[in-house]
Amino acid sequence: MKVLTEILKRKYNLNSVEEISKVVMDSRKIEKNSLFIAINSGNNYIEEALAKEASLIIADNYSGDNEKVIVVEDSVLAIQELALQYRNELGVKVIGITGSNGKTTTKDIIYSILSQRYRCKKTEGNYNNHIGLPFTILQLEDSDEIIVLEMGMSSFGEIDTLCKISQPNYGIITNIGDSHLEFLKTRENVFKAKSEIVKYVDSDKLLVCGDDFYLKSLNSLTVGYGANCKYQITDFVDSDNGIELTLDSNHYNVRLNGEHNCLNSAMGIIMGERFNLSCDEIQRGLGSLNLTPMRFQKIEKGETIYINDAYNASPISMRYSLETFDRLYNDRVKIAVLGDMLELGEDEIKYHREVLEKANSIKVDKIYVYGPRMKKAYEILEDTKLITHFSDKEQIKAEIRESFPQAKAILLKGSRGMKMEEIIEG
């Protein structure tokens, strides 16, 4: 990280500093020659960082006199400013991805495709906010060419902040859904907040879902199933083995399921085309895809297949998961285990009731629900013959074991706070 080291020397008027080899915010990950950025409680670990021979420390609460510690007014602002300068001096191409659903999967797909030719980095885990995004940028190495950044938000102004830090060259808005209604109140407001990325990206480098009511109104590239889309998906097939699709007269196979993941894949394909990758390179990227866990992740335990889609949930992502589950594994017992959706505001019970009505309409043998919101929705639902509410996840596990010893497929879906993946045996 010679470029970053030189930036630090100039920015803070340092006569000399050991070359930075790693940037960390967690003191447990400090190694020799690390840059440690002490944010919030991280200021309590400055002495530990010095003992571990960090090259440099940026902190906003330090009263000592060690020359390795740079004291700033605000560590969060410091990491944002440093990330912007580093991004600009490296000259990497930045792809920013926002949307209500599908951000992480789309990010993983684009990264896998572009990595077939370019040196790339991507957002890891949930580092998609005003601290995580600049930290991700600071993971870049001097030889990297592209970074794929996930941009999360829960209120107005947050996407704008992330764009100011990252200065995206390309942008993607996956869709507009009902996430964050507790804070933003209406889907129109969600659209306004997500579309803050628009002013940072040229229209011919902004890709959106053209089937989305709000997004199709933007001056941008559109992709979707509708004939009005610039890039139209055709010949879509979904099976236990994955999906197939045709885009721009080229046929592709992806080891994912669902119309929503077909759309996410199409966005990755188009981005590969924008970076001049061949069809073969794009297909290799799709074939070597390594998804972030808990996004319709298939886990086999004996004769049981768990579909772990439990990273998060909203009304639209619940519908996507249930519609996809409807088409799969119809040669065995199928159980949908659904947990509460959080941050939906005053109409949350209505959204939960609609999810249960959708679950009742698909090919499924049993529906188990967990959480107080699901319970309230269950109690006002007219048709509950397939549905059982449980207040304990261990009870759900026991019911599955005792009632269905045969081969089965189990869908797990709920908001992150519900931790539905805990139902997986072993």
Containing structural domain, residue 38: 2-73
The pLDDT value given to residue 292: 83
pLDDT tens for 197-236 read 999 999 999 999 999 999 999 999 999 999 999 999 999 9
CA 314/CA 299 separation, integer angstroms: 22
Same domain (yes/no): 258, 332: no
Q: Do 131 and 219 sit in the same domain of this protein?
A: yes
Q: Kindly tell me the burial class for residue 71, based on how many C-beta atoms sit within 10 Å of its own C-beta (0-12, 13-18, 19 or more).
A: middle
85 located within any domain: no
179 band by pLDDT with thresholds 50, 70 and 90: confident
Per-residue pLDDT at 233: 97
Burial (CB count <10 Å: 0-12, 13-18, 19+), residue 145: middle
pLDDT single digits (tens) 139-149: 999 999 999 99
Write down the residue that tokens 């840059």 correspond to. Answer: 35
Supply the CATH number for residue 150's domain.
3.40.1190.10
Is residue 187 classed as helix, strand or coil in its secondary structure?
helix
Q: Work out the pLDDT band at 177, boundaries 50, 70, 90.
A: confident
Domain match, 50 and 173 both: no
Residue 242 lies in a domain: yes
Write down the pLDDT at residue 131. Answer: 97
What is the pLDDT confidence band of residue 15, given thresholds at 50, 70 and 90? Answer: confident
- For residue 151, what pLDDT is reported? 97
| 367 found inside a domain | yes
Place of tokens 């639902």: 381
Helix, strand or coil for residue 106? helix
Looking at 287, 316, 340, which one is the last position of a domain? 287
When pLDDT is averaged across residues 103-125 and rounded to a whole number, the result is 96
Q: Do 97 and 64 belong to one domain? A: no
Q: What confidence category does residue 276 fall into, taking pLDDT thresholds of 50, 70 and 90? A: very high
Let me know: does 112 contact 290? Beta carbons within 8 Å.
Answer: yes
Residue 182 has pLDDT above 80, yes or no: no
Looking at the structure, do residues 60 and 100 belong to the same domain, yes or no? no
17 band by pLDDT with thresholds 50, 70 and 90: confident
Question: Is 377 part of any domain?
Answer: yes
CA distance 261 to 247: 14
Q: Are residues 331 and 409 in the same domain?
A: yes
Residues in CB range of 298: below 8 A, 6 or more apart? 305, 306, 307, 308
pLDDT tens for each residue of 318-355 = 999 999 999 999 999 999 999 999 989 889 999 999 99
CATH code at position 342: 3.90.190.20
Residues 111 and 158 both lie in one domain: yes
79 lies in some domain: no
From 287, 319, 352, the end of a domain falls on 287
Residue 180 pLDDT exceeds 90: no
What pLDDT is recorded for position 345? 87
Count up the domains in the chain and report the number.
3
What pLDDT digit, counting tens, does each position of 364-393 carry? 999 999 999 999 999 999 899 999 999 999
151 and 259 both lie in a single domain: yes
Judgement on whether residues 301 and 281 belong to the same structural domain of the protein? no
At residue 290, the pLDDT reads 87
Percent of the chain at pLDDT exceeding 70: 100
Where does a domain end: 41, 73, 105?
73
Residues 338 and 193 reside in one and the same domain: no
Shared-domain flag, residues 181 and 326:
no
Q: Dihedral angle at the C-alpha atoms of 321, 312, 163, 6, nearest 10 degrees?
A: -120
**Percentage of the chain exceeding pLDDT 90:** 89
